[in-house]
Amino acid sequence: MGRDSSHSRQSSWTRRSGSSWVRARYCDEWTAGRGTADVHVFGTDMESLRDWIQAQLRTCEELIAVTTTRGQTLEAFLAAHRYNQSLVERGVRMTSFFDAGGGCSQLRNFIISADDMPYYLACGFMQVKVLDGDRVMVEGPLVERRRSLMLMRGTEALTAARQYLKAFRDTAVRACEFRDRTGDLTARQHVIAQQLEENLTDDEIAERLGLSVRTVRYEVARLMEALDVGTRFAAGVRYARATALLEDTVAGTCNRFAPQTASRQR
């Protein structure tokens, strides 16, 4: 069993490294002026980047995505989550894998609580989207220190992307399966519980999240009931403890599939 597990781990990371190599070659070829990839440069204009991505997805019928949570805030993710909901409502066949090895606990808890969405937690290092099985969207080359996205087509790119996604599926866990670790909370309650950890008032939470104070008070009351505590402070403490347990669980999930290092030197 140990040998099979080790082989599975190594195979997964080998497939991921292969897709990274293909991406790097496409970037080099485009930079040299002989590439076939479609590269769009955005720099720091995140609004234009989102608009361009959404334009590519407008007629999409199937979307498989790997997204890292490193460096991403909950506020930034909420807009993407609402768009994902609109895609699912439109009938798009969507599967979203999120890198569980980084990012803030606030964002991870939100992903876990969104049990109506096809969200999975796994471990990886490269973001990729496969659209309708014939286009691969990845991070493009830096162009005069500006960020770009790249659309790749062709057998080699699609094969590498499928192998990469196969590696993710090998390690992925449906996000909502972690939900019992943090209590039976809604996505909004997870967000509000995080604010309680910061000892914010109802007015401050309402302003930060763009909710009415009345809504915040209602959700806090439901949150306290779900966590079986009698005060806002106790709710924040219990939630923090549950979050710590979740982080240990997620870390354990990732470590099971981490690449094997060289044998120990004696």
Give pLDDT, residue 103.
67
Same domain for 238 and 213: yes
Within the chain, which residues score under 50 in pLDDT?
Answer: 1-13, 181, 256-266
Question: Residue 48: how many CB atoms within 10 A of its CB?
Answer: 13
H-helix or E-strand spanning residue 155: helix 155-171
Same domain for 40 and 159: yes
The number of distinct structural domains making up the chain is 2
Q: Which domain, by its residues, includes 135?
A: 2-179
pLDDT per residue over 74-84, tens digit each?
Answer: 878 888 899 99
Q: Is residue 107 part of a domain?
A: yes
CATH number of the domain at 243, please: 1.10.10.10
Token pair, residue 95, equals: 């599967």
Domain stops at, among 140, 157, 179: 179
Same domain for 234 and 139: no
| Distant-in-sequence, close-in-space partners of 221: CB < 8 Å, separation ≥ 6 | none
pLDDT per residue over 118-160, tens digit each?
Answer: 999 877 668 899 999 999 999 999 888 888 999 999 999 999 9
Contact 238/229 with Cβ under 8 angstroms? yes
Domain stops at, among 179, 210, 231: 179
Same domain for 130 and 98: yes
Cα–Cα distances in angstroms (integers) from residue 162 to residues 76, 119, 165, 172, in the given order: 28, 18, 5, 15
Same domain for 248 and 119: no
pTM of the model: 0.67
Q: Is residue 265 part of a domain?
A: no
H-helix or E-strand spanning residue 248: helix 232-256
Same domain for 91 and 115: yes
Domain stops at, among 136, 160, 179: 179
Give pLDDT, residue 112.
82
Q: Is residue 196 part of a domain?
A: yes
Same domain for 22 and 140: yes
Same domain for 189 and 117: no
Alpha carbon distance 228, 220 (integer Å): 12
**Phi, psi dihedrals of residue 129, rounded to the nearest 5°:** -130, 135
Where does residue 104 rank: exposed (0-12), middle (13-18), buried (19+ CB within 10 A)? middle
